[in-house]
């Protein structure tokens, strides 16, 4: 009984541990490995909830521990990676931006924890995705022109998305067949081996799907807004004709 209740929290603590180590590694300017630790933390963050639901071991303690861990692993750690890559070059402005990102992440998690109901979507970009985008984007700093301008601006944009009211799909609600769990260990071993051989290149590839997810909510909201304006203008035209 104790092991069943503690197992999900072990994944959460593992996520927190990797977040702390990522900060230490970033201080040593090993940004590829720091970003990789954030990505591995994302995997553990996705597993703790599924394990808790599978074992019927969900608790308020686990929920709060998960949020506190996420602030470190996907708020503070990616912000420190970005600070080491580019923000340290723009003085006190970079320091403020470094602080803004995890603060917005904490606000987003606090709002999530007090929300009522369990909708099939997230309100605001989840801090896990935002942190993953930021950590992997930092590895492209050499290829981005005017990086001291565009990268801090994009970091602030991610911070805004976390506290926005934009809706994002909740893939945690997607069921996974029990038969699929048997191949999960093999997949994890293969992925870990690839990342071990090519840490920087493999971690860079994670940026694309995460960035697509981040922009998906924005594009979807704009599409709905345009559709709404179109329907309103059409209704006004019909009313004018009727008059």
Q: Give the chain's length.
A: 243
DSSP for 106-154, written as a single string: HHHHHHHHH--S--SEEES--HHHHHHHHHHHGGGGGGSTTHHHHHHHH
Per-residue pLDDT, 195: 67
Judge whether 74 and 132 are in contact, CB under 8 Å. Answer: yes
pLDDT in tens, 28-48: 999 989 998 999 899 888 877
Band of pLDDT at residue 72, cut at 50, 70 and 90:
very high
pLDDT at 231 over 60: no
pTM of the complete model: 0.81
3-state secondary structure of 167: strand
Tell me the mean pLDDT in the region 149-168. Answer: 94
CATH 2.40.50.140 fits 2-217, yes or no: no
Rounded-to-integer distance, Cα 95 and Cα 92, Å: 5
Domain ranges of the chain: 2-217
pLDDT at 141 over 70: yes
3-state secondary structure of 164: coil
Judge whether 101 and 78 are in contact, CB under 8 Å. Answer: yes
How many angstroms separate the Cα of 47 from the Cα of each of 43, 121, 219? 6, 18, 29
Judge whether 121 and 158 are in contact, CB under 8 Å. Answer: no
For the chain, count helices (H), then strands (E).
Answer: 9, 2
Mean pLDDT of all residues in the chain? Answer: 81
Rounded-to-integer distance, Cα 24 and Cα 212, Å: 29
Judge whether 38 and 72 are in contact, CB under 8 Å. Answer: no
Tell me the mean pLDDT in the region 12-40. Answer: 93
Per-residue pLDDT, 173: 53
């Amino acid at each position: 009984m104790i092991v069943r209740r503690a197992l999900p929290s072990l994944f959460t603590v593992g996520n927190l541990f990797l977040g702390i180590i990522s900060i230490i590694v970033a201080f040593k300017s090993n940004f590829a490995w720091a970003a990789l630790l954030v990505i591995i933390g994302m995997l553990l963050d996705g597993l703790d909830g599924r394990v808790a639901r599978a074992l019927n071991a969900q608790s308020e303690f686990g929920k709060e521990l998960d949020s506190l861990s996420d602030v470190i692993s996907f708020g503070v750690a990616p912000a420190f990676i970005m600070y080491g890559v580019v923000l340290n070059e723009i003085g006190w402005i970079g320091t403020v931006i470094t602080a803004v990102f995890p603060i917005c992440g904490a606000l987003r998690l606090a709002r999530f924890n007090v929300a009522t109901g369990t909708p099939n979507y997230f309100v605001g970009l989840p801090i896990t995705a935002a942190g993953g985008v930021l950590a992997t984007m930092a590895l492209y700093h050499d290829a981005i022109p005017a990086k001291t301008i565009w990268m801090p601006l994009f970091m602030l944009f991610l911070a805004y998305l976390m506290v926005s009211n934009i809706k994002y799909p909740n893939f945690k609600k997607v069921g996974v067949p029990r038969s699929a769990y048997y191949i999960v260990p093999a997949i994890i071993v293969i992925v870990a081996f690839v990342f071990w051989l090519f840490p920087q290149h493999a971690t860079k590839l994670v940026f694309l799907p995460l960035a697509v997810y981040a922009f998906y909510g924005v594009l979807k909201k704009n599409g709905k807004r345009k559709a709404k304006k179109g329907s309103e203008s059409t209704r006004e035209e019909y009313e004018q004709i009727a008059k």
